[in-house]
Amino acid sequence: MVLADAFIQGILMGFLFALISLGLTIIFGVMDIVNFAHGEFLMLGMYTAYCLSISLGVDPLVTLPLCGAVGALLGLVSYYGLVRYLLRGPMVAQLLGTFGLMLFLRYLAVFLWGIDYRMIKKGLLVGKSLTIGPFHLDMTKVVCALLSLVAFTVVSWIIFKTRVGKALRATSINREAASYMGIKTERMNALAWAMGGITVGIAGGLLANFYYIYPMVGLLFVMIAFATVALGGFGSIKGAFFAGILIGILETVFPIIGHLLKTSIIGPHYKMTIVYLAYFLVVVFRPRGLFGWEQ
């Protein structure tokens, strides 16, 4: 019973983790770059939802498209303003650059909004929970899971079924060959950043419905997003989806097992440990992650 509950809660969290990781894996897939500032994009998405719903007085759900737009803008600005230049350098410089971007955005938020905790108090979903039989589920998480599914479907459709998607994939497989074929790789990169920004902006807008909003909030999620993307295989969309859910389940079910066995060795204090350990073990035996591409 408790286990079943944990399982369901875990899957819901998993959908959220997957949604947050989606943007990271798109960007990585197209241009081999890990965006350290991803969590800060999420944070800014949350602030967008907060500011709009306070100043316009509308439901935070209505602001989701705007959060996506802000995310896209952020992605494009980061790409044209910084990442374009980073691409010339080695991996080390790319990490350094996006790490700088992360610090910059985080403290920009501190400067603009101060260090107060904020929370959206009114809204269709805020504070509601859904009761199915014996299970109480947070309404926002349920909506989040649905939207996560929609986002994955849409992104997969774009990438695998449309012309633009083909161009994106071509760019990610071989940049030079793609540019000989007449694909404007520069534009494809920008598109990847915009798509990454949209998905994470929407994730932020949703998260704002049940999470506190705070300049440092990105760090909490970005580590999980890294583990998710790496576990699933960098650049793999399917991988991010399943790895997200796997991590969600691991993170919630593992400590409950300790509870059921009545031992204190296994417990919530190790729940992140188990996620990282799982990642470590998986990649040691499958160095490309669960669904990563063989090169």
Partner 1 sequence: MGAIREAFDFSDFPLVERIGFGIFCLFLLAFPWLGMDSFGMAVMIQFLLFSLFGMGWNTIGGYGGQVELGKAQYVGIGAYTVAVLMVRWDIPYWFSMPLGVLIALGYSFLIGYPLFRLKGHYFAIATIATSLVLQDIFINWNFVGAAKGIELPIKGNTFLYMQFTNDTYYYYFILAYFLAGVLYMNWFRKSKLGYQLRMIKIDEEAAESLGIDARWCKIKAYAIASAFVAVGGSFIAVYNLYIDPESVMHLELSIMIALMAMLGGAASLWGPIIGAAILVPLDRYLGSWLGGHKELMGVDFMIYAAIIMFIAAFEPRGIWGIVERYRGRRT
Partner 2 sequence: MKKGLFLSLLVLAVAMGLLMGPFAGGVAAKAKEIKIGVIYPLSGAFAAAGRDLRNGAELALDVLNNRYAELGISIAKWEGIPSLKGAKIKLIFADHRGEPGRGADLAKRLIMDEKVVGLMGCYHSSVTKTVSAVAERYGVPMINGSSTSPVLTKRGFKWFWRTTPHDETFTKDLFEFLKGLTEGKVRGVKAVPKEEIKRIAYACENTEWGSSVAKVIEQMAKEYGFDVVKGILYSAKSPDLTTESQALVAAKPDCMLFASYISDAILFVRTLKSMKASPKVVWGQDAGFEIPDFRATLGKDVHGILTRTVFIPKVVKVKKAAGKINALFKKRYGTDLTGASGRAFVALQTWAHVLNAAGSTDPKAIQKAANELFIPAKELIMPWGGVKFDKTGQNVLGTGLIGQYQAKGGKVELEIVYPFDLATADMVYPFTTWK
Name the binder of 214 from partner 1, partner 2, none, CB < 5-8 A by kind: partner 2
Tell me which stretch binds partner 1 (CB under 8 A): 14-22, 51-59, 159-167, 221-229. Answer: 221-229
Binding mask 197-216 for partner 1 (x = CB under 8 A): ------------------x-
Among 1, 55, 57, 111, binds partner 1 (CB under 8 A): 111
Report in angstroms how near the CB of residue 282 gets to partner 2 at its nearest. 20
Counting contacts by CB under 8 A, is residue 34 touching partner 1?
yes
Name the binder of 129 from partner 2, partner 1, none, CB < 5-8 A by kind: partner 2
Three-state SS annotation for the chain: CHHHHHHHHHHHHHHHHHHHHHHHHHHHHHHCCCCCCHHHHHHHHHHHHHHHHHHCCCCCCCCHHHHHHHHHHHHHHHHHHHHHHHCCCCHHHHHHHHHHHHHHHHHHHHHHHCCCCECCCCCCCCCCEEEECCEEEEHHHHHHHHHHHHHHHHHHHHHHHCHHHHHHHHHHHCHHHHHHCCCCHHHHHHHHHHHHHHHHHHHHHHHCCCCCECCCHHHHHHHHHHHHHHHHCCCCHHHHHHHHHHHHHHHHHHHHHHHHHCCCCCCHHHHHHHHHHHHHHHHHHCCCCCCCCCC
Q: State which residue, 157 or 280, has the beta carbon closest to partner 1.
A: 280
Report in angstroms how near the CB of residue 50 gets to partner 2 at its nearest. 11
Counting contacts by CB under 8 A, is residue 224 touching partner 2?
yes
Give me the residues that bind partner 2 (CB under 8 A), please: 2, 5-6, 9-10, 13, 110, 115-119, 121, 127, 129, 131, 136-139, 210-212, 214, 216, 219-221, 224, 251-252, 254-256, 259, 264, 267-269, 271-272
Give me the residues that bind partner 1 (CB under 8 A), please: 28, 32, 34, 82, 85-86, 88-97, 99-104, 106-111, 114-115, 215, 223, 226-227, 230, 234, 269-270, 272-273, 276-277, 279-280, 283-284, 287-289
